[in-house]
């Protein structure tokens, strides 16, 4: 896969349903200050990404995001990180299908009245669920027959996905932009500063930026990974940050002033940009947006079938999930069994969580838990493998790694109670699978005890975040025992302690030898 194909694949994954719904939801939560939420989200994910760039260039392997933690802290932490990451990726497949179906349900044409039954009270109906399944099936089939077909499809579709958001920004700012909206309904920040942080998770902003890991997980399928992983992420992430931020600016400025009589919370669009275009008598733009509501989620869904299947296949390396899921089809070089399992589980997920907002919140939280392991792992490997070849070396790691870790912890806290404990519970279910396979090994109990030490810091982190979410400020769903912004100080302090415990608890396991073998394939240029 060339750099161009890699950038197009990553952009196709990033510019998905997030732009169709994120701006509208963020404006409801934070008003005009939602612009700052997109910038904050880019900073949080960007800092996390640079840690993973060092890891990705050191260990170019498919599904790498599910393996790195095991290299430094043993199989248990690797499994928890892989499970969390896989869970978040798995949820992206149905959420993109839900996004397309939700836009379909608001088609304004008389011949499309049959689509009205796809959505009721903001949730996908059983009729809509069948259409969602057809989308997920299409996503899977496009990945079923080789990476070559995937890259051709995503390179083509990414151009369209970039053009429509860009055109939307230009048209809205040219025809209906009202600068006074940025100070309307109380102020620039009508819901207070806490809403800026809340919107990053609740409005799907973290979710929207999450797809940078598509580049990491393609691993050894990339030409010159020691160079192209870095530039693939930098280029794609930079372009998407500008597009998302400008979309938010355009949305806020284009909302008719008459709709702001009851504040930004009263601006509730089912299909935000398409509904806005209709209000502004831009019928041709609304038609393009309804078309893009197919294309953008479709491109992201297709990309993440590839990413998710490789993440699940990579988890089989430690033999804590059925190894047959990791088998690669010899002819097409794709993990077909993993794709089928992900497809079926995606349908189950959307049957339980039937709206875009809920799914995006779950994705954001579970993703961030997986991301906590990145800064700890990259710092620990500096001590464990000082002689490892590092095509990209993060300068100032002693500052950037803990900062990225603390920001990720805060972003989990921003998801609000009870989302935090719900996601922690789902992740804990994965441990049942791990223990089952581990104790069946000859030295299972002994190995389990050894790996517990390498994982205790993450357990401590989740317990700490659970406590803080419960007793934290009311702005983030807590009891109010710890007022805002003092709650941020306590979350950061406790998380920082967990970070340093994590770096300290790294140990040499069998997984470290795998890391050594992977790193030997890398050559500095």
How does pLDDT run across 147-161, given as a tens digit for each residue?
Answer: 555 555 555 666 777
Closest CA to 346 of 136, 173, 128, 141: 136
Name the band, by pLDDT with cuts 50, 70 and 90, for residue 144: low
Poorest-pLDDT segment among 18-27, 31-40, 345-354, 355-364: 355-364
More confident residue, 264 or 361: 264
Q: CA 437 from chain center: how many Å?
A: 28
CA distance 431 to 141: 31
pLDDT at 47: 93
| Tokens read off for 169 | 């920004």
If you average pLDDT over every residue of the chain, what do you get?
Answer: 83
Give the predicted TM-score (pTM) of the model: 0.83
d(CA 360, CA 351): 15
Q: Among residues of the chain, what percentage have pLDDT more than 70?
A: 89
Tally of CB atoms within 10 A around 297: 28
Collapsed DSSP state (helix, strand, coil) of residue 334: coil
Average pLDDT of the segment spanning 483-504: 95
Residues 367-371, mean pLDDT to the nearest whole number: 86
Q: Count other Cβ atoms within 10 Å, centred on residue 278.
A: 18
- What does the pLDDT read at residue 472? 92
Q: What pLDDT score does 384 carry?
A: 93
Cα–Cα distance, 359 to 201 (Å, whole number): 11
More confident residue, 283 or 308: 283
Local structure of 63: helix, strand or coil? coil
Q: Pick from 235, 289, 279, 284: which is nearest to 259 by CA?
A: 279
The average pLDDT across 307-323 equals 73
For the cut 80, the answer to whether the pLDDT of residue 377 exceeds it is yes
pLDDT band at 347 (very low <50, low <70, confident <90, very high): confident
Closest C-alpha among 64, 77, 83 to residue 447: 77
pLDDT at 219: 60
336-359 in b/e form (b: 16+ CB < 10 A) is bbbbebbbebbbebbeebbbbbbb
- Decide: helix, strand or coil at residue 523: coil
State the pLDDT at residue 318: 65
Residues 6+ apart with CB under 8 A from 348: none
Which of 211, 207, 212, 216 is CA-nearest to residue 63?
A: 216
Most confident segment among 42-51, 300-309, 356-365: 42-51
What pLDDT shows up at residue 444? 64
Cα-Cα-Cα-Cα torsion 292, 298, 299, 304, nearest 10 degrees, comes to 150
* Number of CB atoms found within 10 A of residue 184's CB: 21
Q: Which range among 57-61, 124-128, 492-496, 505-509 shows the weakest confidence by mean pLDDT?
A: 57-61
Q: Are strands 119-120 and 123-124 parallel, antiparallel or unpaired?
A: antiparallel
Range in 26-35, 42-51, 214-223 with the lowest mean pLDDT:
214-223
> Residue 137: which residues within 8 A CB-CB, separation 6 or more?
343
Q: Which of 176-185, 246-255, 473-482, 509-518 has the lowest mean pLDDT?
A: 176-185
Residue 496 has pLDDT above 90, yes or no: yes
Q: How far is CA 421 from CA 33, 201, 363, 503, in A?
A: 28, 15, 14, 25
Q: Which two tokens stand for residue 459?
A: 């357990």
Which residues are CB-neighbours of 27 under 8 A, at least 6 positions away?
34, 248, 251, 252, 255, 264, 267
Structure tokens at 501: 């415990």
């Amino acid at each position: 896969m060339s750099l161009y194909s890699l950038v197009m694949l990553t952009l196709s994954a990033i510019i998905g349903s997030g732009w169709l719904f994120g701006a509208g939801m963020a404006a409801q939560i934070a008003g005009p200050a939602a612009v700052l939420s997109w910038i904050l989200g880019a900073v949080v994910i960007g800092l996390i990404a640079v840690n993973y760039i060092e890891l990705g260039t050191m260990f170019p392997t498919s599904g790498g995001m599910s393996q790195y933690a095991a290299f430094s802290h043993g199989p248990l932490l690797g499994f928890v990180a892989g499970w969390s990451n896989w869970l978040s990726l798995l949820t992206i497949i149905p959420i993109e299908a839900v996004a397309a179906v939700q836009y379909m349900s608001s088609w304004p044409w008389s011949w499309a009245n049959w689509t009205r039954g796809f959505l009721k009270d903001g949730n996908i109906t059983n009729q809509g669920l069948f259409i969602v399944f057809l989308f997920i099936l299409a996503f899977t089939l496009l990945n079923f027959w080789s990476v070559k077909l995937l890259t051709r499809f995503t390179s083509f579709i990414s151009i369209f996905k970039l053009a429509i958001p860009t055109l939307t920004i230009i048209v809205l700012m040219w025809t209906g932009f009202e600068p006074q909206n940025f100070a309307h309904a109380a102020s620039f920040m009508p819901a207070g500063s806490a809403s800026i942080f809340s919107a990053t998770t609740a409005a799907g902003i973290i979710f929207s930026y999450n797809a940078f890991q598509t580049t990491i997980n393609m691993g050894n399928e990339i030409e010159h990974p020691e160079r192209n992983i870095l530039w693939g992420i930098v280029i794609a992430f930079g372009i998407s940050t500008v597009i998302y931020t400008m979309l938010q600016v355009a949305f806020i400025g284009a909302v008719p002033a008459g709709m702001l009589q009851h504040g930004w919370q009263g601006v509730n669009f089912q299909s935000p940009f398409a509904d806005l275009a209709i209000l502004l008598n831009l019928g041709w733009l609304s038609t393009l947006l309804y078309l893009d509501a197919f294309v953008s989620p479709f491109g992201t869904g297709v990309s993440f079938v590839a990413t998710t299947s490789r993440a699940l296949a990579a988890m089989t390396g430690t033999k804590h999930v059925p190894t047959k899921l990791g088998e690669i089809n010899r002819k097409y070089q794709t993990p077909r069994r993993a794709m089928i399992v992900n497809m079926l589980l995606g349908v189950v997920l959307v049957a339980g969580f039937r709206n875009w907002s809920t799914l995006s919140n779950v994705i954001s939280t579970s993703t961030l838990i997986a991301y906590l392991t990145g800064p700890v792992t990259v710092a620990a490997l500096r001590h464990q493998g000082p002689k490892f070849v590092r095509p990209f070396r993060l300068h100032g790691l002693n500052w950037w790694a803990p900062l990225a870790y603390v920001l990720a912890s805060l972003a989990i806290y921003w998801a609000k109670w009870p989302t935090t404990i719900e996601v922690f519970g789902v992740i804990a279910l994965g441990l049942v699978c791990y223990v089952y396979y581990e104790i069946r090994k000859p030295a299972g109990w002994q190995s389990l005890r050894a790996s517990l030490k390498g994982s205790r810091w993450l357990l401590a982190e989740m317990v700490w975040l659970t406590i803080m979410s419960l007793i934290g400020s009311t702005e983030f769903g807590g009891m109010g025992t710890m007022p805002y912004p003092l709650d941020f100080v306590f979350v950061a302090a406790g998380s920082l302690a967990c970070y340093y415990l994590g770096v300290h608890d790294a140990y040499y396991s069998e997984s470290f030898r795998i890391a050594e073998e992977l790193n030997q394939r890398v050559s500095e240029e």
